[in-house]
Amino acid sequence: MNGGRKLQKLRDDEGSADRLLALSDGVFAIAMTLLALDIALPGGLDSAGFAQALRDVMPKVWAYALSLLVIAAFWRGHYQLFQCVREVDGAVIRLVLLGLGLVALMPFPTTLLAEYGDLPQAVSIYSGAVAVMGAVQLALTLVLWKRPWLASEALPDRIVRNDVLDLAGTVLVFVTAVPLAFVSPTGAKLWWAVLIPLRVVTGRRDRRLRMEAQRGADTP
């Protein structure tokens, strides 16, 4: 009997929200680290060779910075999402693992973008990868929203709707960039900048809504 309770506790711990969040943090950290592995200069260069090698490596630095921002944004959203999650079920675990698999794959489209950023295939693959990541996180947000029994504290619907709007906008921008890349790879990359004002608006709204929710919780 006592052994059965211990086995059940072990199973619960393996599927707990804290354990899943710890796994997520590890995968995000590893993916961020792998992004930088291709950034290097050969040794033994003279002044002219160093200058040329530095120019050649700058596309890798740019692609690294972009992907770092993308992964960091998804990590932040993922972390905030799980702050109010107490338990997880099979659907949540599957979506999280799928999302983590896509995050771990990001160094590949990042390398394509760095090496072949002028080709439509590279830009469209990168755009598609980010769009799918956003779609999975959007699906995870909706699943948790519709399963309030998994939460330790239910988020106000207005906050969740703002998160959904933010993720849906991200998916729409990058999905649109996939066919646009075959018209103009440079235009598709410039199109990504549409996310900047969108994220500013949704970010400000998120902070305001969370402050209002906190004030409401503090009011006796």
**Does some domain include residue 21?**
yes
In the predicted structure, residue 149 carries a pLDDT above the cut 70:
yes
pLDDT band at 180 (very low <50, low <70, confident <90, very high): very high
Hey, CA dihedral for 15, 81, 160, 191, is it positive or negative? negative
In the predicted structure, residue 45 carries a pLDDT above the cut 90:
no
- Whole-angstrom Cα distance, residue 128 to residue 84? 30
Domain that holds residue 60: 10-218
In the predicted structure, residue 198 carries a pLDDT above the cut 60:
yes
Question: Terminal CA-to-CA distance of the chain, rounded, Å?
Answer: 44
Query: What count of Cα atoms within 13 Å lies in the side-chain half-sphere of residue 31?
Result: 27
- Whole-angstrom Cα distance, residue 79 to residue 88? 14
In the predicted structure, residue 52 carries a pLDDT above the cut 90:
no
Cα distances (angstroms) measured from residue 216 to each of 58, 191, 212: 48, 39, 6
**Does some domain include residue 1?**
no
Pair of tokens at residue 51: 């200058």
Number of domains in the chain: 1
Cα distances (angstroms) measured from residue 33 to each of 29, 52, 104: 6, 25, 10
Phi/psi for 58 (5° steps) reads -60, -35
**Does some domain include residue 15?**
yes
Q: Average pLDDT in the 185-192 region?
A: 95
Contact 171, 135 (CB under 8 A): yes
**Does some domain include residue 5?**
no
Residue 30: the pLDDT is 94
The SS3 call for residue 193 is helix
**Does some domain include residue 214?**
yes
Considering the entire predicted model, what is its pTM? Answer: 0.87
- Whole-angstrom Cα distance, residue 42 to residue 5? 58
User: Between 71 and 149, where is the model more confident?
Assistant: 71
Residue 9: the pLDDT is 42
| 115-134 residue pLDDT tens | 999 999 999 999 999 999 99
Hey, CA dihedral for 137, 143, 146, 150, is it positive or negative? negative
**Does some domain include residue 85?**
yes
Residue 209: the pLDDT is 83
**Does some domain include residue 114?**
yes
**Does some domain include residue 4?**
no
| 22-42 residue pLDDT tens | 999 999 999 999 998 888 888
pLDDT band at 220 (very low <50, low <70, confident <90, very high): low
- Which residue type does 158 have? R
Average pLDDT of the chain, as a whole number: 87
